[in-house]
Amino acid sequence: MNGANDSSVAKVGGVIIEGRDLVLSFGETPALRGACLSVRRGEIIAVMGPSGSGKSTLLHCLAGILVPASGEVYFDGQRLDTMREAQRSRLRRDRFGFVFQFGQLVPELTAEENVALPLLLGGTRRDQALRAARSWFERLDLDGMERHRTGEMSGGQSQRVALARGLVAHPDVLFADEPTGSLDSLSGELVMGLLTRTAREEGSTVILVTHEPRVAAYADREVIVRDGRVTTASAVAR
Amino acid sequence: MALLGLLDREPSHGYDLKRDYDTYFSRGRPLPFGQVYATLSRLARDGKAIAGEAEPGAGPDRKRYAITETGKSEVEAWLAEPIPAEPYLQTDLFVKVVLSLMLGRPAEEYLDAQRAAHLRRMRELTELKQHDSLVDALLADHGLFHLDADLRWIDLTAARLAPLAEEVAS
C-alpha cells in the first residue's frame, strides 16, 4: 500500500503537466540543472528538498511564472514555456490555482472578495463570483468569516481563505508552495487535511512544495529536488 | 500500570478493564484474559488494589477490583515521571550509516531508501488519521513526529556524508 486511498488512485489519469530537462539560473547561481517531473491528472505530489535545492523554482517553471533557459514545459498537451506572457497569464488564471506561504490575501478586501478574485479577474459577474466564493466558507470551516478582513483572522483562517481562492475557479492544477509554512502544527494539519480533501473532491492535481515531511505525507508520492535535479529515490525504493 | 490507571477511574471487573485496555491501548493486540487476572491478583497482593466480594455467577469475572491509596500514589508518581528520552537513532540507522561508510558502501543510497520508507509509513499514518478516532490520531501523531525527527537526522546526515566518510576512514 502506498498510503494513498484507493478512491484517489482510481481518479488519477494521464500526464497533465510535465517539465523536461529544465535549466534555469539566477545570475551566476544555477537553480535548476536539468530537472524533470511528470505529474498525472488528479495526483497529489509533494516536491521536497532542502532550502535552495530549486524546488520552488521548479514549481514556478511548471506554473508558467518563470520561463526556463532551456528545457520544455507541457500542460495538458500544450507547450507552456514558449507561449507569450499574455497567454501564460490567462492559463494561470483559468486553469491553475495557487496557495503560497505568506501575504497572499489583499488586505483591503473582505475574505469573500479575496476568494472571488480569480473569478472576477476572469470576467465573472460580481454577484455570481461572490455567490461561488461564499459556498467555500462552509466547506472550509470558515462559517461567518465572509466579511472579515485579513487582520481579523488567524493565520490558519487566512490560509484557508487563500485555499478557497486557489480552488474557487476549479483549477486543473493547484500549486501550493509551503502552504503551512507559517502555521502551528494544529492549524497546518487542518489546512492540509482540507487542501487534500477538497482537491480530491474537485479532481484537481496538486503540486505541493514543502520541506516538511509531515506535510508531504498528505501527498500520494514525493520527489526530492537536490542541486536543481529531481531524484526519484522513492520510486526506486518501492 | 495501564490497568492500575484504568482502575483509578472507578472500581471495575476484569472484563471491563480488558475491554477498555483493548480499546485504548492494545493497538490490535488484545490483552489475554489470563494476563488481566494475573495482573489484578498481583496488584491485590501488593496492596495496590483490593478485590471485592465474589459476586454470584459463573466464570472468573466475579470480583470487582478497586484501587487503594497506595495504588493511587503509584499511578500519580508514574504519570508524573518522564520516560527515558531514548536516542532511537543510535540504534539501527546510525549503525547502518557508519558501517556503510566504513565498508565503502553507498550510504547516500541507503539514506534515500530509508527516507522513502519513512515517508511511506508517514503517508499510511496520515491516511489513518483522516478516518480514525481522535485517540487513534493521537497515536498516529506520536509515530509521525518520531519519524519526522528521524527524517531531519537523515537529511542532516546526508548533507554531511563527505566529511563523515573522511572521519570514519581515518
Q: Does A105 score more than 80 pLDDT?
A: yes
CA A167/CA A35 separation, integer angstroms = 27
Domain boundary among B34, B50, B80: B80
Please name the residues between 136 and 155 in chain B that touch chain A, using a CB distance below 8 Å: 144-145, 147-148, 151, 155
Q: Does A49 score more than 80 pLDDT?
A: yes
Q: How far is A154 from chain B (nearest CA, A)?
A: 23
Q: How far is A191 from chain B (nearest CA, A)?
A: 13
Kindly provide the ipTM of the predicted complex, given to two decimals: 0.81
Condensed to tens digits (0 to 9), the pLDDT of residues A3-17 reads: 444 444 445 689 999
pLDDT of residue A4: 40
pLDDT of residue A9: 41
B26, B63: one domain: yes
pLDDT of residue A11: 57
B60, B93: one domain: no
- For B146, nearest residue in chain A (alpha carbons): A214
For chain A, the structural domain boundaries read 6-103+172-237
Set of cell numbers at residue B124: 499510511
Condensed to tens digits (0 to 9), the pLDDT of residues B64-74 reads: 999 999 999 99
CA B170/CA B165 separation, integer angstroms = 9
> Which of B119, B124, B126 is facing A222, going by the closest CB pair?
B119
Closest CA to A88 of A78, A98, A99: A78
> A47 - beta bridge partners?
A209, A223
B66, B115: one domain: no
Contact A50 B145 (CB under 8 A): no
CB pairs under 8 A between A and B: 64
Domain boundary among B80, B99, B128: B80
Q: How far is B4 from chain A (nearest CA, A)?
A: 32
Interface residue B89 vs chain A (CB under 8 A): no
C-alpha distances in Å from residue A109, one per residue of A114, A150, B126:
6, 8, 35
Please, what is the Cα angle at A17 between A11 and A21, to 5 degrees? 140
B64, B93: one domain: no
Q: How far is A2 from chain B (nearest CA, A)?
A: 6
Preferred mutation among B114, B123, B125 to probe A, highest tally of A CBs within 10 A: B123
CA A218/CA A107 separation, integer angstroms = 30
A49: chain B residues, CB-CB within 8 Å: none
Condensed to tens digits (0 to 9), the pLDDT of residues B105-134 reads: 888 888 888 899 899 999 999 999 888 788
- For A233, nearest residue in chain B (alpha carbons): B112
> What would the mean pLDDT of A186-192 be, rounded to a whole number?
91
Contact A1 B147 (CB under 8 A): no
B96, B164: one domain: yes
CA A204/CA B154 separation, integer angstroms = 32
Condensed to tens digits (0 to 9), the pLDDT of residues A147-180 reads: 999 889 999 999 999 999 999 999 999 999 999 9
Upper half-sphere CA count for residue B139 (Cβ side, 13 Å): 12
Using DSSP's 3-state secondary structure scheme, residue A76 falls into: coil
Condensed to tens digits (0 to 9), the pLDDT of residues B23-47 reads: 878 777 899 999 999 999 999 999 9
Answer whether A58's CB lies under 8 Å from A45's CB.
no
CA B43/CA B27 separation, integer angstroms = 24
Closest CA to A32 of A69, A78, A1: A69
Contact B122 A231 (CB under 8 A): no
> Which of A3, A233, A237 is facing B123, going by the closest CB pair?
A3
Domain range holding B135?
Answer: 88-169
Q: Cα-flanking dihedrals φ and ψ of residue B153, to 5°?
A: -65, -40
B92, B165: one domain: yes
Answer whether A93's CB lies under 8 Å from A102's CB.
no
Roughly how many angstroms between the first and final C-alpha of chain A, as a whole number?
Answer: 10
B117, B62: one domain: no
Name the pairing type of β-strands A70-75 and A221-226.
unpaired
Condensed to tens digits (0 to 9), the pLDDT of residues A204-225 reads: 999 999 999 999 999 999 999 9
B74, B109: one domain: no
Q: What's chain A's average pLDDT?
A: 90
Instruction: Please tell me the pTM assigned to this model.
Output: 0.81
Using DSSP's 3-state secondary structure scheme, residue B10 falls into: coil
pLDDT of residue A55: 94
Look up residue A175 and give its amino acid: F
Closest CA to A22 of A52, A64, A78: A64
Interface residue B42 vs chain A (CB under 8 A): no
CA B55/CA B50 separation, integer angstroms = 15
pLDDT of residue A58: 97
**Greater confidence, B59 or A26?**
A26
With respect to CATH, is domain A6-103+172-237 assigned 2.30.30.140?
Answer: no
Contacts of A53 by beta carbon, 8 Å cutoff, 6+ apart: A225, A226, A227, A228
> What would the mean pLDDT of A77-103 be, rounded to a whole number?
92
Q: Would you give the distance in Å from CA A50 to the centre of its chain?
A: 19
> What would the mean pLDDT of A118-133 be, rounded to a whole number?
95
CA A71/CA A23 separation, integer angstroms = 6
Domain boundary among B53, B80, B107: B80
pLDDT of residue B110: 85
Set of cell numbers at residue A148: 472579515
Q: Does A238 score more than 50 pLDDT?
A: no
Contact B120 A3 (CB under 8 A): yes
Q: Does A236 score more than 50 pLDDT?
A: no
Please list, residue by residue across A113-140, b when 16 or more beta carbons sit within 10 angstroms of its beta carbon and e when fewer do. bbbbbbbeeeebeeeebbebbbebbebb
CA B70/CA B47 separation, integer angstroms = 7
pLDDT of residue A6: 42
The CATH number of the domain holding residue B65 is 1.10.10.10
Name the pairing type of β-strands A96-99 and A173-177.
parallel
Q: What's chain B's average pLDDT?
A: 86
Q: How far is B163 from chain A (nearest CA, A)?
A: 18
Task: Return the minimum-mean-pLDDT range out of A85-89, A198-202, B61-65.
Answer: B61-65
Name the pairing type of β-strands B64-67 and B12-13.
antiparallel
CA A234/CA A213 separation, integer angstroms = 13
